[in-house]
Amino acid sequence: MSARVNLLGLPRPALEAWCESLGSRPFRARQLMSWLYKRGVSEFEQMTDLARDFRAQLALQAEVTLPEIISSQQASDGTRKWLLRADASQAFEMVYIPETDRGTLCISSQVGCALDCSFCSTGQQGFNRNLTTAEIVGQVWLANRELGFAPGDPRIITNVVMMGMGEPLANFRNVIPALQIFLDDLGFDLSRRRVTLSTSGLVPQMYKLAEVINVALAVSLHAPDDELRSQLVPINKLHPIAELLEACWHYIDEQNGRSVTFEYVMLDGINDSPEQARALTRLLRGRPAKLNLIPFNPFPGTHYRRSSDEAIWKFRDQLLRGGIMATVRRTRGDDIDAACGQLVGRVQDRTVVRLGSKTVGLRVEA
Ligand code: SAH
Ligand code: SF4
């Protein structure tokens, strides 16, 4: 293993402290960030306004290492997906979704996921390891390069969503510094409303999140009652809906947020009935909540089916009539399996196998 520090893993305060530890002044950190994130330069020799001896020190003690691209694919609708190496036998994925008014990069936080949601192909593979901060930040860096971003150009990536492989709040320690770099004006300088963290509902970590960072929060709800939600999202057995919603409202209060986006995967005959739409309305009416209905994306081996278009639109109309803001997510990247929940990467040598009903007692790293 390299003893060098990967600079992509250091948010501004840590980078300043590191520069000071080398005997340099903290403004060197700002110069470095500007090269790394504003100009997309990763070679120290090209950072021409840094003093020559500082560059020599960097060459000895630092590195800018990016995840290696194993393969990339482009869908007919312009969606792109990259498979990135985690190590010899593991891989993770990121997806770029171009739209007329924005470009969204969907990034991963873990190789696999231990939370075992029954409708998610990532979950069905089990968990291998957390991504490092540098691997999380490296995804945005790499995608910018791959998409041909040049300094001074309008942004290509306007939004970053942590909705790829993994549960970001189960990798709290590495995800928070990455979010800080996304928001920092010397980092990717993204607006806090355009950086979204999606969680399946790790309640204690949601309270911690409220203390440390202000981003857009998305929460995977998927069912209006505990019995069904526990079947779909097993972490619900540990943190049931009432507890989860409290944590959501707390986040909005603490961070002065507008609303939480609740994700709701539409599964034929499972969670798409009119009674379930009514129950959802009762749960969320009068709250700072939006619902995003996601047509289920199938994967090999699943026994679930996508709700019909008719059922999805009826469900949405019923929510709207009940006063709940609801939208239907357009499925993108279908022909390259790049849609939500289809990211499989390559998860082998699982250190934690699927947790299923054993989620009680699950410990997540914080
Ligand atoms: N672990 C986090 C973020 C990654 S999953 C979370 O669960 O929120 C991103 C979103 O895709 C979640 O809302 C998840 O429930 C949804 N999803 C998972 N599998 C899916 C599938 N097969 N079809 C549609 N959406 C799916
Ligand atoms: Fe993990 Fe999210 Fe998939 Fe559930 S939906 S298994 S939390 S990645």
For 64-98, the pLDDT digits (tens) are: 999 999 999 999 999 999 999 998 889 999 999 99
Q: What is the pLDDT at residue 349?
A: 62
- Ligand 1 centre from 198 Cα, in Å? 8
Q: What is the pLDDT at residue 365?
A: 44
Q: Is the CB of 117 under 6 A from ligand 2?
A: yes
Q: What is the pLDDT at residue 89?
A: 85
pLDDT band at 358 (very low <50, low <70, confident <90, very high): very low
Q: Which residues are catalytic?
A: 93, 340
Cβ contacts of 232 within 8 Å, gap of 6 or more: 117, 118, 119, 222, 223, 265, 267, 270, 271
Q: What is the pLDDT at residue 363?
A: 42
Q: At what angle do helices 172-183 and 203-212 cross, to 10 degrees?
A: 30
Instruction: Looking at the CA of 117, name the nearest ligand.
Output: 2
pLDDT for 180 beyond 60? yes
pLDDT for 128 beyond 70? yes
Atom 6 of ligand 2, nearest CA residue: 123
pLDDT band at 3 (very low <50, low <70, confident <90, very high): confident
- Of ligand 1's listed atoms, the one at least distance from the Cα of 199 is 8
Q: What is the pLDDT at residue 47?
A: 95
Q: What is the pLDDT at residue 1?
A: 52
- Ligand 2 centre from 149 Cα, in Å? 31
Atom 26 of ligand 1, nearest CA residue: 341
pLDDT for 228 beyond 70? yes
Q: Please choose from 94, 118, 161, 163 the residue to mutate so as to test ligand 1's pocket, defined by most ligand atoms within 8 A of CB.
A: 163
Q: Is the CB of 296 under 6 A from ligand 1?
A: yes
Q: What is the pLDDT at residue 355?
A: 44
Q: Is the CB of 198 under 6 A from ligand 1?
A: yes
Average pLDDT over residues 305-327: 97
Do 266 and 293 form a contact (C-beta atoms < 8 A)?
yes
pLDDT for 116 beyond 60? yes
pLDDT for 9 beyond 70? yes
Q: Which of 206, 279, 292 is nearest to 243 (CA)?
A: 206
Report the distance separating Cα 342 and Cα 298, nearest Å.
7
pLDDT for 354 beyond 90? no
Average pLDDT over residues 229-258: 96
pLDDT band at 360 (very low <50, low <70, confident <90, very high): very low
pLDDT for 356 beyond 50? no
Cβ contacts of 62 within 8 Å, gap of 6 or more: 4, 5, 6, 7, 44
- Ligand 2 centre from 199 Cα, in Å? 8
C-alpha 169, offset from chain centre: 10
pLDDT band at 226 (very low <50, low <70, confident <90, very high): very high
Distances (CA, A) of 69 to 88, 92, 158, 333: 13, 10, 22, 19
Rank 25-29, 330-334, 357-361 by mean pLDDT and report only the highest.
25-29
| Bridge partner list, 177 | none
pLDDT band at 351 (very low <50, low <70, confident <90, very high): low
pLDDT for 7 beyond 50? yes
How high does pLDDT run on average in the chain?
A: 92
Report the distance separating Cα 7 and Cα 33, nearest Å.
9
- Ligand 1 centre from 220 Cα, in Å? 7
Q: Please choose from 220, 232, 236 the residue to mutate so as to test ligand 2's pocket, defined by most ligand atoms within 8 A of CB.
A: 220
- Of ligand 2's listed atoms, the one at least distance from the Cα of 170 is 7
- Ligand 2 centre from 113 Cα, in Å? 6
pLDDT for 294 beyond 90? yes
pLDDT band at 364 (very low <50, low <70, confident <90, very high): very low
Average pLDDT over residues 337-349: 73
